[in-house]
Structure 1
Amino acid sequence: MAPLLRKLLIAFGALLLVLVAALAILAATFDPNAYKGLAIDWMKTERQRTLVIEGPVALSFFPTLAVQISGVTLSERGKATEFMHLDEAKLSVAVMPLLRKRLQVDGISAKGVRAVWRRAADGSSNIDDLLAKKRPDEPEATGGPEGEALAFDVSGVKFEDLKLTVDDALAGVAGAVAVKSFVTGRLADQAESPVELDAQVDLTRPALSGHLSGKTKLRLDLKAHRTALRDMQLAWVGNAFGIQALDTKLTGALAHDGAAGTLAATDLDVRIGATLGALRLDGSQVAVKSFGYDPAKKHLALEQLKVRIAGKQDGNPLKLDLDWPKLAVDGTALSGGPVTGELSLKGPLALDATFKSAAPRGNFERVEVPGFETTLKGSSGPRRIAGTVRSNLALDVAGQALAVEGLAAKLTIEEPSLQPLALDAGGRATASAKAATWKLTGAINTNPFDTEGRVGLADKPVSIEASANFKALDLNRLLPSAPPAAAASSAAPGKAGAGDAAPVDLSALKSAQGRFSLRAGTFAYRQYRATNLAMDATLRGGTLKVAPFSAELWRGKLDLVAQADANANRIAAKGAADGIDIQALLKDVADKDLLEGRGRLALDVATTGRTVGELKSHLDGSTSLSLHDGAIKGINLAQRLRQARAAISMKADAAAKASATEKTDFSELSASFTLADGIARSSDLNMKSPFLRLGGEGLVDIPKSRIDYTVRATVADTSKGQGGAELALLRGVTVPVRLTGPLDGIEWDIRWSAVAADVLRTDVGRALEDRLKDKLGLPPRSASAPDGAASRPEDLLKDKLRRLLK
């Protein structure tokens, strides 16, 4: 037996010697570069991709399986465009541990790598063909007969200059991530490894751009699906989700168990600096001593939560402090301390508030913070606000939702020039990651209101459904008083050049969708006053449609439909106002006092533009006006026409500025306008009064706020009284009156020079001719001329003068 065993050992040794020799010869003589062509051809044939290997390929087999490649480029499938490129990559794997089901990697390094990953909305991506596809009859891969996973051990990873371009329609992510460096220590199951990262993120969807850097210690437990980060020192500097100049530093420890769904944090501290609109945060902090969440054990623990917000709002100091000392939940047992805090804002808009609550109660599924009370007082100029807001807060842990129950708000607003306003409201509200809802009822002074709605936060874009009903809604009582300059600007939008450069941005309409409803018995905003206001609106795809919009205002009734399209920055309106007071309308909308009267105004207009000036310049459509029992402000045409004799004798035109105290009364007035590129043209003016008839044509330049209009005034045959004798001199004569200049200072120019020649063809002219003939001894126009005498007055005049000259 022993000789046989010895022979077998000798044979085995000889075989091993031959195998080692063969491997040595293979390693010494094998040239992997000779197989470049095979790899290139296989990639072209099997994957329809173009592979280019510019650099040499280095390969070794023992004691480590090592490969080094450089200058590698791979195209997209079926295209010549680049999918991936790397300047240099190295991989070294120990051979002997593989026999013990251990993947021991001596090192992984890569430099100068760039790649593009795309995924469509249906889930297909540009790397599907490179992934191994499991056949339907192929068993699941395992690490061995017992199904154990292959253990791994990586001595270190080093990546430099990596760039990944992403376009993921399914996840809604697009942009680029550039890793300047990523270095780790030894990576192994249940071993802690130091990790350092320096990366630049530039995403367009979502809006995220900035610099991410830091270091931590990473521990992986693959069997338990656990990940732990300790000694975190991470920093982000950039912009994120609409927040500008975000400077965040995170320290502490985090641990997550993917299988059990647990989360734990220790000494977590976040320092924040950021700009959000007019709000600038500096030195803000959110910290928690410890936090634990274990859904299987129904355990929730929170210790020493501190929120410190510090910064400036519009340059004015802002401070918020919130403390929650302790919360402990184990199944149905709950204990903890009350929440306390305070808020302070200084400046023109000042606010001071304090927060407090009773001790929490409930269980793991529902954590309640009863008696949460906010006491506040503040001011805005002469306005003062004070009151309290009480509610019970309830946190649905499993549903991750917050409910505000038993809400009771009592606020008072006082301003020296107004009666005090008291707001009393109550109801309920909820909020979660998916949606927020509210239902409130109350009263403003003694005027009741109710409102309810829902915001779908998980919808893309956010969806909103809201309705509100008010017996009386006076926004002037609720909003801060407008500064005089702002009030003047809002009241006089028609003034040429005033605010024309102000941007008109409708892009916010793209960020939401939904339906809205508003009803108000009485309504006030700035200078506008209305009753029985009713508005329904829908918002879809960046287009807001208001249909209908109706209200009783300007002593009449307004009915219209309107639309605002953010995609084209287009605004349109169509409708009519019946029985309105035109003077009140012009005063509210344009701060002009040009007309008096009651009647109907119809419009069908549209415009596009990115500024107020562009909207004026692109205004198109039509309008019509029909009024009765009113007046044109600025001139008294009847009085001016009574001066006809002097004006005609001088044959001089009479120009005058519009006067605030003069006006021309009418019983009826109608006109229509066509609008193109901001110019309103009219040719059908028709105005009637007891002694005048007016027609005319011309234009109004809305962008420049100027008028160029010619009115044709004719004295009516029925004119009596009010200087009727003087006006009788012009009966049947058309007097042209030209209106020019800015709408704030219209100049009325009566063209008497054009009237003088026409007067001679009227009764006045004939009367003057008869008086002249009588002086010259000529027969009047009514006498018959003698036989043989000159029949024309000119001939008779020549004969008479000839005799006199003799």
Structure 2
Amino acid sequence: MARPLKIIGIALGAIILLIAAALIAILLLFDPNAYKPQISQAVQDATGRELDIKGDIELSLFPWIGMELGQTSLSNAPGFGDAPFARLDAAEVKLRLLPLLLRQEVETRAVVLRGLRLNLQVNENGTSNWADLAQPEPTATSGQIPPATPQQAAASTGGGIGLAALAIGGIEISDAHISYDDRAADTHYTVEQLNLVTGPVSLDTPVDVALDSRFSSSQPPLKGQLELSTRIGFDLKQERYRLDDLVLETTLDGETLPGGRAQARVSADIRADLQQQTAAVNNLTIQTYGVTARGQIDAERILASPAFKGELALAPFNARQLLTKLDQPVPDTADPEALTKLAANLRFSGTPTAINIPVLQLFLDDTTLSGRTDIRLPQDKPLPAVRYTLHIDTIDADRYLPPASENDVKVAPPSAGAAAAATLPMELLRDLDIKGQLDLDQLKISGLHISQIKTRLTAQQGLIELLPEAQLYQGGYKGSMQLDARQDTPRFKLDDTLSGVQAGPLLQDLMDDALLSGRADLSSRLTTTGHTPEQMTRALNGRVEVSFNNGQIKGFNLAQLVREAKAKLNQQPLPARDETKGTDFTELSATLNIKDGVIHNDDLSAKSPYVRISGAGTVNLVTEQLDYLVKTALVESATGAGGAELEQLKGLTVPVKITGSFAQPKIDLQYDEILKARAKQELERKKQELKQKADAEKQQLQQTLEAEKEALQQELKEKQKQELQQKEDELKNKLKSLFN
């Protein structure tokens, strides 16, 4: 047994000596640089390009068989200038000889490329300078792919040198430069100082990869640097791939970036199984501008019909600090602590045509928004279809408004519909496909406290409808707002009802002045058209019914006006005004008929135990002018201070004319009308006095006549009685004389 082994060993030794001798002979006798013209000519024949090998070609045969190539360049395509298409300072590739000969294993040292320069261009006609190099491979006459050769078949089935036997000591690319100049699109991109270093490359062990480079672009104008590191693992037979500890860091500089600079860091672990068509991104972390997001994503059917699901959490951050980093103005809010805490959580799933977010949480300071939303991405429509159900617990919107100043005048906010009509494009409105609901537990806005808010929004094919409901100030609100954008000119419709609301607290919170108090009930039916607020005001039509009960009109001091009227009538100095008092009423109602932006009212009615108020006139919303007359009639005298004065004017109607603009209304007591009414009242009084006197005289005369009549009747009765007595006496005397 020992002898055969010895013989085999001697034979192998001899073979190795022969191979070594042959390699030495090749190194001594063969000069690869002598073949540079033939190599260049072969490239010229195959590509039409000139290959210029300026550096020396060095060969090594044992224990590594390989080649070192010096400076080499490949000329550009015709019409793309004199700069080389590609240039290389140096390259080195070496394979270990004995594993290749004995075991058919490819074991290389590091593959090295130094100073690569790649010049990619596209001319004005859209032709690239690499198109002539990307020629299709030759095919059989039938146009089918030619059958594999026996050697190819053997390699694919494990014969020959298989991929499983590949082992590379690493890949080193240093100082590479790649430029891309697209003159058709007027864009230019460069990657420079590109360095790529890997660990040993083997198909059965993970590979460490590190890359860094600088880059720039013309559209958008940016420049920056990139660093990437990861460990790549793969199983080609099972088609499984993984990136462990992937870290990508980049810094971007450009005038279009917020603050002129952006920095970002992304880390994750990535898995892919092509046989199962699954992929996963785990431990995902994204950091930029001081904001951190963490999550994970799982995907399936990635090669057929991809579907994904995952989670994402946005860690709490300060929005004010973020805006500062983005070089954006920080809002001046009434609460300086507003916008200091933002965070979000969400779970999602989807496909290329749909995104579902069943869990959505957004935290803004002390406010929490939660809910869900579904988004469909139809191929034939420009905008997605959105369905949502959202809930907000409580929000103080006034915290986020600018702080009030002493010169500010608190007024009601303008109509949201009017403001939107001036900015929203009609085509966008027609493309909206939205349906959802948003509920709020508590809302404070413009000083108003509103609770139990429910909104339902539908927007489809240009018809947008909002249905809000709310509780406020011991009452309720229910409305219907509609915007019809299906025609060239948008149409608006408003139907709403306000019932049982305490007007005093509402106006106090809204305008810091309770101009009117009492229980308020309001209903409106309004329509308008137009693209701008002015057009909509001119086209406003409809009806508004208003009623108040058990309230007061602040600033309208009826008793004061009566006292002024009395002083004027008596030509006395006007009494001092008391602006703190108003006019109480038990009922106040009015119907506003609106036509072409002008409010017409002729049934204003207010009642109290002592007065009756009526009014009629117009309010022009287009010109913002007032023309209104209020009439006040005293029906009973009041007790206490001023009661005697009011008693003197009992039954008198006091007219008050309101004119001027909304900004500067004028309230004018109509003294002429009062004088006319007073004269009429005096005439009526004189007529009543004369009538009363005539009636008294008539009654007195009647009484006199009755007395005289009664006296005559009494006198006649006495006379008749006397005559009868006399006749009776005469008869008695005659009878007496007869019997005597």
- For Structure 1 versus Structure 2, the TM-score category normalised by the shorter chain is 0.5 to 0.7
Corresponding position of 1:700: 619
Tell me how far 1:453 sits from its aligned partner. Answer: 0.7
Tell me how far 1:564 sits from its aligned partner. Answer: 1.8
Tell me how far 1:363 sits from its aligned partner. Answer: 1.5
1:140-179 pair list within 5 angstroms: none
Give the share of equivalent positions with the same residue, in percent.
Answer: 22
- What CA distance in whole angstroms lies between the structure 2 residues aligned with 1:449 and 1:733? 61
Corresponding position of 2:599: 680
The 3 A distance-change label for structure 1 pair 514 and 738 is same
Tell me how far 1:304 sits from its aligned partner. Answer: 6.6
Q: Pick from 294, 300, 306 the counterpart of residue 390 of structure 1.
A: 294
Whether the aligned pair in 2 keeps the contact of 1:356 and 1:374 (CA below 8 Å) is: yes
- What CA distance in whole angstroms lies between the structure 2 residues aligned with 1:351 and 1:600? 56
Cα shift readout 1:396-452 (whole Å, capped 9, x = no counterpart): 643556655252532456878366765554232346542333222466667654221
Residue 544 (str. 1) matches residue 459 (str. 2): no
1:495-514 pair list within 5 angstroms: 503=423, 505=425, 507-514=427-434
The alignment partner of 2:457 has SS state of strand
Structure with the larger helix share: 2
Tell me how far 1:745 sits from its aligned partner. Answer: 2.7
- What CA distance in whole angstroms lies between the structure 2 residues aligned with 1:737 and 1:394? 76
The 3 A distance-change label for structure 1 pair 500 and 750 is farther
Corresponding position of 2:722: none
- What CA distance in whole angstroms lies between the structure 2 residues aligned with 1:517 and 1:327? 47
Tell me how far 1:670 sits from its aligned partner. Answer: 0.6
Whether the aligned pair in 1 keeps the contact of 2:215 and 2:223 (CA below 8 Å) is: no
- What CA distance in whole angstroms lies between the structure 2 residues aligned with 1:448 and 1:363? 37
The 3 A distance-change label for structure 1 pair 220 and 541 is farther
Whether the aligned pair in 2 keeps the contact of 1:577 and 1:600 (CA below 8 Å) is: yes
The alignment partner of 2:697 has SS state of coil
The alignment partner of 1:762 has SS state of helix
The 3 A distance-change label for structure 1 pair 641 and 481 is closer
Residue 638 (str. 1) matches residue 544 (str. 2): no
Corresponding position of 1:462: 384
The 3 A distance-change label for structure 1 pair 307 and 432 is farther
Corresponding position of 1:744: 663
Residue 563 (str. 1) matches residue 485 (str. 2): no
Corresponding position of 1:221: 136
Q: Pick from 542, 546, 563 the counterpart of residue 621 of structure 1.
A: 542
Whether the aligned pair in 1 keeps the contact of 2:637 and 2:644 (CA below 8 Å) is: no
- What CA distance in whole angstroms lies between the structure 2 residues aligned with 1:544 and 1:490? 31
The alignment partner of 1:644 has SS state of helix
Whether the aligned pair in 1 keeps the contact of 2:188 and 2:218 (CA below 8 Å) is: no
Whether the aligned pair in 2 keeps the contact of 1:413 and 1:422 (CA below 8 Å) is: yes
- What CA distance in whole angstroms lies between the structure 2 residues aligned with 1:311 and 1:722? 83
- What CA distance in whole angstroms lies between the structure 2 residues aligned with 1:288 and 1:669? 84
- What CA distance in whole angstroms lies between the structure 2 residues aligned with 1:303 and 1:734? 94
Corresponding position of 2:435: 515
Cα shift readout 1:763-787 (whole Å, capped 9, x = no counterpart): 79737997xx9xxxxx967753899
The alignment partner of 1:731 has SS state of coil
Cα shift readout 1:656-699 (whole Å, capped 9, x = no counterpart): 9x997453222210111111111111111110123211111111
The 3 A distance-change label for structure 1 pair 551 and 685 is same
The alignment partner of 1:647 has SS state of helix
Q: Pick from 281, 304, 313 the counterpart of residue 407 of structure 1.
A: 313
- What CA distance in whole angstroms lies between the structure 2 residues aligned with 1:609 and 1:225? 66
The 3 A distance-change label for structure 1 pair 339 and 310 is farther
The 3 A distance-change label for structure 1 pair 532 and 747 is same
1:211-360 pair list within 5 angstroms: 216-218=129-131, 219=134, 221=136, 233-235=181-183, 249=187, 324=228, 330=234, 331-335=239-243, 337-341=246-250, 355-360=264-269
The 3 A distance-change label for structure 1 pair 410 and 517 is same
Whether the aligned pair in 2 keeps the contact of 1:512 and 1:539 (CA below 8 Å) is: yes
- What CA distance in whole angstroms lies between the structure 1 residues aligned with 2:485 and 2:376? 21
Corresponding position of 1:669: 588
Q: Which has the higher mean CA deviation after the structures are superposed, 437-446 or 595-604? A: 437-446
Whether the aligned pair in 2 keeps the contact of 1:605 and 1:622 (CA below 8 Å) is: yes
**For the aligned residues, what is the CA RMSD?**
5.2
Name the aligned partner's letter for residue 390 of structure 1. R
Tell me how far 1:741 sits from its aligned partner. Answer: 1.4
- What CA distance in whole angstroms lies between the structure 1 residues aligned with 2:222 and 2:450? 38
The alignment partner of 1:531 has SS state of strand
The 3 A distance-change label for structure 1 pair 345 and 699 is farther
Whether the aligned pair in 2 keeps the contact of 1:536 and 1:546 (CA below 8 Å) is: yes
Whether the aligned pair in 1 keeps the contact of 2:431 and 2:460 (CA below 8 Å) is: no
Name the aligned partner's letter for residue 136 of structure 2. D
Residue 573 (str. 1) matches residue 494 (str. 2): yes
Cα shift readout 1:617-645 (whole Å, capped 9, x = no counterpart): 22111111111122223331221112333
The 3 A distance-change label for structure 1 pair 634 and 469 is same
The alignment partner of 1:358 has SS state of strand
1:8-157 pair list within 5 angstroms: none
Residue 724 (str. 1) matches residue 643 (str. 2): yes
The 3 A distance-change label for structure 1 pair 566 and 686 is same
Q: Which runs of 5+ in 1 are unaligned?
A: 1-155, 157-193, 199-212, 238-247, 253-266, 270-286, 290-300, 378-386, 774-778, 789-806
The alignment partner of 2:517 has SS state of strand
Residue 535 (str. 1) matches residue 455 (str. 2): yes
Name the aligned partner's letter for residue 599 of structure 1. A
The 3 A distance-change label for structure 1 pair 685 and 541 is same
- What CA distance in whole angstroms lies between the structure 2 residues aligned with 1:528 and 1:321? 52
- What CA distance in whole angstroms lies between the structure 1 residues aligned with 2:420 and 2:547? 30
The alignment partner of 1:670 has SS state of strand
Name the aligned partner's letter for residue 458 of structure 1. P
The 3 A distance-change label for structure 1 pair 321 and 232 is closer
Whether the aligned pair in 1 keeps the contact of 2:264 and 2:289 (CA below 8 Å) is: no
The 3 A distance-change label for structure 1 pair 499 and 333 is closer
1:486-501 pair list within 5 angstroms: 491=411
Corresponding position of 2:90: none
- What CA distance in whole angstroms lies between the structure 2 residues aligned with 1:482 and 1:468? 27
Whether the aligned pair in 2 keeps the contact of 1:215 and 1:233 (CA below 8 Å) is: no
Structure with the larger strand share: 1
Whether the aligned pair in 2 keeps the contact of 1:563 and 1:573 (CA below 8 Å) is: yes
Corresponding position of 1:417: 335
- What CA distance in whole angstroms lies between the structure 2 residues aligned with 1:363 and 1:735? 89
The alignment partner of 2:582 has SS state of strand
Name the aligned partner's letter for residue 360 of structure 1. D
- What CA distance in whole angstroms lies between the structure 2 residues aligned with 1:605 and 1:769? 51
Name the aligned partner's letter for residue 648 of structure 1. L
Whether the aligned pair in 1 keeps the contact of 2:285 and 2:292 (CA below 8 Å) is: no
The 3 A distance-change label for structure 1 pair 546 and 391 is same
Corresponding position of 2:85: none
The 3 A distance-change label for structure 1 pair 371 and 590 is same
Tell me how far 1:454 sits from its aligned partner. Answer: 1.6
- What CA distance in whole angstroms lies between the structure 2 residues aligned with 1:306 and 1:513? 44
The 3 A distance-change label for structure 1 pair 440 and 570 is same
Tell me how far 1:233 sits from its aligned partner. Answer: 3.8
